Amino acid sequence: MEVFGPILHLSPIKESGIMTNPILSICIPTYNRVANLEETINSIVNQRRFQETNDIEIVILDNGSTDNTNKVIIDFEKKHKEKIRWYRNEKNDMYLDLEKLFSSGKGVFLKFNNDTLKHNEGSLDKMIQTICDCQNDATTPFFSTGVLKIEKNILCSTVDSFVEVVSYWSGWMAGFGIWKDDFLNFKEFDRYSHLQLPQVDIIFRLINSQKSFLVNNENLFISIPPLKKGGYDLITVFLDNYIFLLTEQLNNGALTEKTYLVEKRKLLLQFIRPWLVLLRIYPEKYYFTANNYFHRIVHYYKKDKVVLAQFIIYYNLALCYNFFKKSIKSCFNWSSTLVNNFKKSQH
């Protein structure tokens, strides 16, 4: 594992002095989130780098939206002409359509972008800078956007080092991107799309084919909370599917047993446990499913009784604390409403 300092220069990608393709394709799948999508696109097109250069294009795949999505996309397309292109599916199948989405990108680097992922000012300059440097160094950027506890960019040349650094955040698709040439040469790109973590498998296979990833942890984006977050089985995707992908790497020798066990523990205590608490406390905000979660957790962690005990203790303590906190807040809001109503009645 190698640590790099700040990236300070730009290297435009040209051929015979002429820009042949955009440097970056920002690839956005969307479904019935027109307000989020509009905010996301505006955060990109309002930046000088997008307006004054041809370095960046936006590719949108509408997965059969029934709201005002089409009209909003067409309006952006008219304003920005060839810099924005869009396609439409008749049904929503985002994970299976990742290959179709990337196939539509003309950029040298293809970057996934959720329709709820808003860009911070200056993000495009920093992304282009990183992409150009990575091309010069024959590495692939992974944009973790400040979620990791690292201060510098880190180069990961093995699956073991990547899992150690990025951990379960590799399941966040917004960090993922791939060189167009690697994408075109990639076999069975969507072989594990049904696991809903296609990017994790792709990253592992790229590293196993001697590709290195540069983890860039700058704060480039911010997630826009949708009205309700979720829509998939949290336990199936991360407990079943993610561990399946890790086990595959363990069995082929790309992942050490130590890293594998540490990651399983982090997954349960630092990721799954907090989400299960949120699902119980705020069911109106989240619509993940987690069927038979306790029995499934016991199945995966029955040999690690210490971690299982920690999960049970921390989970119940967090539930009690958050229920108490929510109750106090409700009582305060109720009291404030009574006081306000009383004041109004006196006038």
Higher pLDDT, 172 or 337: 172
The answer, yes or no, to whether residue 7 has pLDDT greater than 60, is: no
User: How confident is the model at residue 95, as a pLDDT?
Assistant: 57
Higher pLDDT, 6 or 123: 123
Residue located via tokens 């109106």: 284
The one-character DSSP state at 116 is T
What is the per-residue pLDDT across 315-345, written as a single tens digit (0 to 9) for each? 999 999 887 787 787 776 666 666 566 566 6
Question: How far does Cα 229 stand from its chain's mean position?
Answer: 13
The answer, yes or no, to whether residue 3 has pLDDT greater than 90, is: no
Mean pLDDT of 164-180: 96
Higher pLDDT, 4 or 124: 124
Mean pLDDT of 69-87: 94
What is the per-residue pLDDT across 15-48, written as a single tens digit (0 to 9) for each? 333 446 899 999 999 999 999 999 999 999 999 9
What's the CATH code, domain 2-223? 3.90.550.10
User: How confident is the model at residue 346, as a pLDDT?
Assistant: 63
C-alpha 319/C-alpha 56 separation (Å) is 45
The answer, yes or no, to whether residue 281 has pLDDT greater than 50, is: yes
C-alpha 222/C-alpha 275 separation (Å) is 19
Distances (CA, A) of 143 to 10, 57, 131, 280, 337: 17, 18, 10, 31, 45
Mean pLDDT of 254-279: 95
C-alpha 186/C-alpha 284 separation (Å) is 41
pTM over 0.85: yes
Mean pLDDT of 272-280: 91
Closest alpha carbon to 101 in 90, 88, 83, 91: 88
Taking 3-state DSSP, the helix, strand and coil percentages for the chain, each rounded to the nearest 5, stand at 50, 20, 30
pLDDT above 70 covers a percentage of the chain that reads 86
User: How confident is the model at residue 75, as a pLDDT?
Assistant: 96
The answer, yes or no, to whether residue 94 has pLDDT greater than 70, is: no
**Domain boundaries along the sequence of the chain:** 2-223, 231-329
Closest alpha carbon to 119 in 15, 225, 46, 220: 220
User: How confident is the model at residue 11, as a pLDDT?
Assistant: 38
C-beta separation of 189 from 199 below 8 A: no
What is the per-residue pLDDT across 133-170, written as a single tens digit (0 to 9) for each? 999 999 999 999 999 999 889 999 999 999 999 999 99
C-beta separation of 46 from 79 below 8 A: no
pLDDT above 90 covers a percentage of the chain that reads 71
Q: In what helix (H) or strand (E) does residue 86 lie, and over which residues does it extend?
A: strand 84-89
User: How confident is the model at residue 20, as a pLDDT?
Assistant: 64
User: How confident is the model at residue 225, as a pLDDT?
Assistant: 78
User: How confident is the model at residue 97, as a pLDDT?
Assistant: 80
C-beta separation of 159 from 121 below 8 A: no
Contacts of 260 (CB under 8 A, 6+ apart): 246, 247, 249, 250
What is the per-residue pLDDT across 97-118, written as a single tens digit (0 to 9) for each? 889 999 999 999 999 999 999 9
